[in-house]
Homo-oligomer: A and B are copies of this chain.
């Protein structure tokens, strides 16, 4: 159906090699022939078959992006960043959603690995050993996860948590609850650790409420336990969880921020629209996506290098869900 190199060659009256060169190494061919080939190519609507090229050059011009859950608005943002950059570089993107399932993730990664030039793994749940194994025979860039010195783009969670605690402490909060994400989540870990340090530094109590699914429902589920801790403020694993908290607190007629202040993380679009609007740590998600592609592409150019992880700062966005504690 689609035109092949041969068709173009035939039409232009040259060999396939010449067509190939005319299209990708133009200076190697005579201007006149080149023109003839070009017209032939686009009367036929010829587009090179990347798969075939990939077989020889080892570069298909395709990359893979694996992430836990597209329903979480955090990830589409990253995807958009990835897409934008990928498109500019003329590479196509496979996207795979693992549904927060480690086994699915490992499958998908393996399956994808052999048909792309490189892989971007966003918030992967698999363990470090597995990721290193994958990275051993595929070019991999991690996003929102650090494993030894695999190339990565991460957010500065520690600093973000410092900002959040500083904000709450300044308001006068002494007892802060922390609603963690999935147990397997690296970022949940990081955030927890950051919080521990920051609250020690500010002399406030931190109560770890445990691990919850990283969604609205997780927040709903955590809310009552948060209330039971007697904390006057709560920091949630992400905005979705925070919004779930908000909903459940509202349902129980516990006023936010009056009775309890709520802080989210991510700054998804939704959190500006919640009631009350959510105070959160804004993470540059699209930028992370873009940088991940850049990093991957550079790595593909010169594979030997081991670039240091890119660390992206977040910043505190104070909205309406935090205020002074009741006293």
Chain A residues within 8 Å of B, Cβ to Cβ: 1-2, 45, 47-52, 54-55, 60, 62, 70-71, 73, 75-77, 79-80, 83-84, 87, 90, 92-97, 99, 104, 108, 110-115, 137-138, 216, 243, 247, 269-270, 273-275
User: A252 to chain B: closest CB distance in Å?
Assistant: 16
Contacts of A108 in B (CB 8 A): 87
A49, A92, A96, A110 — which one has the most chain B CB atoms within 10 A of its CB? Answer: A92
Residue in B62, B94, B216 whose beta carbon sits within 8 Å of that of A273 in the complex: B216
**8 closest pairs, A vs B, by CB?**
A51-B51, A95-B95, A70-B76, A275-B275, A1-B137, A47-B114, A83-B97, A2-B114
Given A51-B52, A92-B112, 13 new contacts (CB under 8 A): A1-B137, A47-B111, A49-B114, A51-B54, A62-B115, A70-B80, A71-B73, A71-B80, A83-B97, A87-B96, A90-B111, A93-B96, A247-B273
Task: State whether B51 touches A273 (Cβ < 8 A).
Answer: no
Identity of the chain B residue whose Cβ is nearest the Cβ of A274 in the assembled complex? B273
Contacts of A90 in B (CB 8 A): 111
User: A48 to chain B: closest CB distance in Å?
Assistant: 8
Identity of the chain B residue whose Cβ is nearest the Cβ of A108 in the assembled complex? B87
Q: How many monomers of this protein are in the complex? A: 2
A-B contact pairs, 9 of them (CB 8 A): A49-B115, A70-B80, A80-B97, A87-B108, A92-B96, A92-B112, A94-B94, A247-B273, A275-B275
Task: State whether A51 touches B47 (Cβ < 8 A).
Answer: no
A52, A60, A97 — which one has the most chain B CB atoms within 10 A of its CB? Answer: A97
Task: State whether A83 touches B55 (Cβ < 8 A).
Answer: no
Contacts of A112 in B (CB 8 A): 92
Task: State whether B83 touches A77 (Cβ < 8 A).
Answer: no
Task: State whether A92 touches B76 (Cβ < 8 A).
Answer: no
Contacts of A73 in B (CB 8 A): 71, 73, 76
Bound-state Cα–Cα, A49 to B116, Å: 10
Task: State whether B60 touches A71 (Cβ < 8 A).
Answer: no
Residue in B76, B137, B270 whose beta carbon sits within 8 Å of that of A2 in the complex: B137
